[in-house]
Amino acid sequence: MKKSFIIIYLFVFALISCNKQREDSIELRINKLIKQMTLDEKVGQMNQLSGVGLSEDMIEMIKSGQVGTLLNEVDIETVNELQRIAVEESRLGIPLIIARDVIHGFKTIFPIPLGQASSWNPEIVKSAARVSAQEASSVGIRWTFAPMIDVTRDPRWGRIAESFGEDSHLTSVMGVAMIEGLQGDTLSHPSSVASCAKHFAAYGATESGKDYNTTWVPEIQLRELYLPPFKAAVDAKAATFMCSFNDINGVPSSGNTFLNRMILRNEWGYNGLVVSDWGSIEQMIPHGFCKDINDAAKKSIFAGIDIDMMSNAYSLNLSELVQSGAVSISMIDEAVANILRLKFKLGLFDNPYTPKPDNNPFYKPRSLELAKQTAIESTILLKNKNNLLPLSENIKKIAVIGSLADSKIDQLGTWCFDAEPENSITPLQALKEQYGSKIDIVYEPTLLYSRDKSDLNFKKAVKAAKESDAVILFVGEEAVLSGEARCRADINLPGAQSELVNEIKKSGKPFTMVVMTGRPLTLEKEVDMADAVLFQFHAGTMTGPAIVDLLFGKAIPSGKLPITLPRMVGQIPIYYSHKKTGRPASNITFIDEIEVGAPQTSLGFTSYFLDAGDTPLFPFGYGLSYTTFNYSIPQLSSTSINKTDTLTVFCRVRNIGEFDASEVVQLYVRDDVGSLVRPVKELKQFKKIFLKKGQTEIVDFQITAEDLSFWNSDMVKRAEPGSFTVWIASDSRSGSDVNFILE
């Protein structure tokens, strides 16, 4: 045993020494290269442009060292030729990095990030990112602008689709999983793609849910809610960071020294690369923060932004700013070192070219199977009245209603530029392939698209419903209605879809409503009308097979909401970890219950809406199954701990239903009394477990003082002695609680 330990120790020591030597070698090569570079060549490395193929202007810029990274080149022959020009025809032979938005898949498209978060399975998120990296790198892409780890509580914001939801902990876990999947075991491997943690920071707090809008975030909230996923990204060695479009407390991120230098560089010790968002340096002028492009370039370099994406602010102004003494050459050298370091780590100096694959790297069977499984685990069962689902395979006729049942492009979701919709398998297509020979499938699209307001085909849909043994109604949003600059003030079902739901309800037939969307929608009346509800954030290439397996019980729903579903838009922001109030909701009187002419009084008033009460439609962490899980009351290893102890919390989870299935077991904690008002509860950990019917598992979690700490008014993060409440539950509003003391 002792001998084995020594061998392992020597191996680990040798590995650490080897990595240290490699890092030292890279730094020596960086310093040597920087000494050889002219000022204009240094500034060229800091200039990022969108590719335009093999144009004469681009070729000349690369030859003369005026561009360091390129966006949006996806043709392997073009990429290799541009790389050849950079390596063989420029003075110093510095390779390019080719970048592209690969947000939730390259060719094989996985659920949008909000959907992936619904799986509560970091391993499947990591695996999906690995496939995305393998496909993208096969055409020369070595840098992508993902994950987006902006925490948001506003479903009106279009970019919520790219987020992992409302919770800082869940976002951190999923963000790290995506980073690890994209970057692989080592960045130098040809199939690894540099990740980019974005948008730094608080972009998800954009006022009124309107994209690019202002944010006002107290530093305590910034550190408690919005920054933890980015700190987790630093710890996970995310290769790059991207600043955000918005201003934070009056200072745009692209010129924000507090964020990019004081916190990211100095406090967290990050030595990776920081890139602006598209044109965001120049956009500090319309912000009113910079008087002109020269001023914008100066403020961005002072803030520590290494690469200017598509503003031309650096390329047109930095050399002059250095020569005038307004910007020190050391700032330029620091930025260039960060850029070169990534190029060395990616192995581009040694292997700049991308070999043409022998076989088609896209849509491999294992990739499609993973995409299907991710779609399955991302789907949330919100309602299942009288156990309508799963459907029996013995039914004779099924009515499929709604255009989204057969829209190859819309199921892919937002921001997947390289997707090929023709390779999507829709629910209707999958139904016909699997059951067309056994079940009569009647399809009525009824509406041409989700925004269609015509009721001309409603009668045909109702007739199909009445004549069928099962009815599946597909509703939701087209892909184009969510994503960047796709914000909605009204998040009801668009078009005449709600009216269609009402007509199907009138048919008298029980029906399943499948929601396919890029954001949370306000669906209270539609959910009330439906007998069963499957909810999907746009689930990608394999949406169809996933939905069909769920409908017929070949797969069991296990998704959980990563964000609260409001009853109506006026409740926003509504989120589970809200602060306590001196008048918590109780004795709720709804608007129609108030007597006409009732006198005004302040007695008994509490915090709620007259027309919506105090609860969401569905809470964070919610999701049903075809089986039932029973949770015992949590048990503690001790009723008190000190700041160096570890507390174990556990409970028994038993599958008492009729199906083998997975369950997401969630741990929530509340600090009962603090020097600052604390949230009613906070997610601290979770585990996804699989239980066969009748099986019981003891699920345990470990809690330390670090888990109980928070940012105090003196801007120090620490745990305070006192009473804490803990839950182990299936969602944020359920479960029994127990208490313990931190001494």
Buried b (16+ CB within 10 A) or exposed e, 439-452: bebbbbbbbeebeb
Q: How confident is the model at residue 24, as a pLDDT?
A: 75
- Which of these, 117, 204, 228, lies nearest to 562 by C-alpha position? 117
- Note whether residue 397 is domain-resident: no
- Note whether residue 530 is domain-resident: no
- Note whether residue 162 is domain-resident: yes
- Which of these, 127, 117, 201, lies nearest to 163 by C-alpha position? 117
Tell me the CATH number at 182: 3.20.20.300
Q: How confident is the model at residue 602, as a pLDDT?
A: 74
Angle at 400 between CA 394 and CA 402, to 5 degrees: 165
Q: Which of 282, 314, 345 is the last residue of a domain?
A: 345
- Note whether residue 459 is domain-resident: no
Number of domains in the chain: 2
Q: Which of 305, 326, 345 is the last residue of a domain?
A: 345
Please list the active-site residues.
277
Domain range for 675 is: 629-742
- Note whether residue 207 is domain-resident: yes
- Note whether residue 80 is domain-resident: no
- Note whether residue 165 is domain-resident: yes
Q: Is 86 helix (H, G, I), strand (E, B) or coil?
A: helix
List, for residues 572-593, the tens digit of each pLDDT value.
Answer: 999 999 998 999 999 899 999 9
Q: How confident is the model at residue 8, as a pLDDT?
A: 59
Tell me the CATH number at 722: 2.60.40.10
Write out the H or E segment, with its range, that includes residue 14.
helix 2-36
Low-confidence ranges of the chain (pLDDT < 50): none
Q: How confident is the model at residue 688, as a pLDDT?
A: 98
Write out the H or E segment, with its range, that includes residue 682.
strand 682-691
Compute how many other C-beta atoms are within 10 angstroms of the C-beta atom of residue 595. Answer: 7
In this structure, what are the phi and psi dihedrals at residue 333, rounded to the nearest 5 degrees?
Answer: -60, -40
Q: Give the length of the chain.
A: 743
In this structure, what are the phi and psi dihedrals at residue 159, rounded to the nearest 5 degrees?
Answer: -80, 5
Write out the H or E segment, with its range, that includes residue 7.
helix 2-36
Q: Which of 345, 380, 404 is the last residue of a domain?
A: 345
What letter represents residue 619's amino acid?
A: P
Are 175 and 229 contacting, i.e. CB atoms less than 8 angstroms apart? yes
Are 585 and 607 contacting, i.e. CB atoms less than 8 angstroms apart? yes
- Note whether residue 132 is domain-resident: yes
Q: How confident is the model at residue 320, as a pLDDT?
A: 98
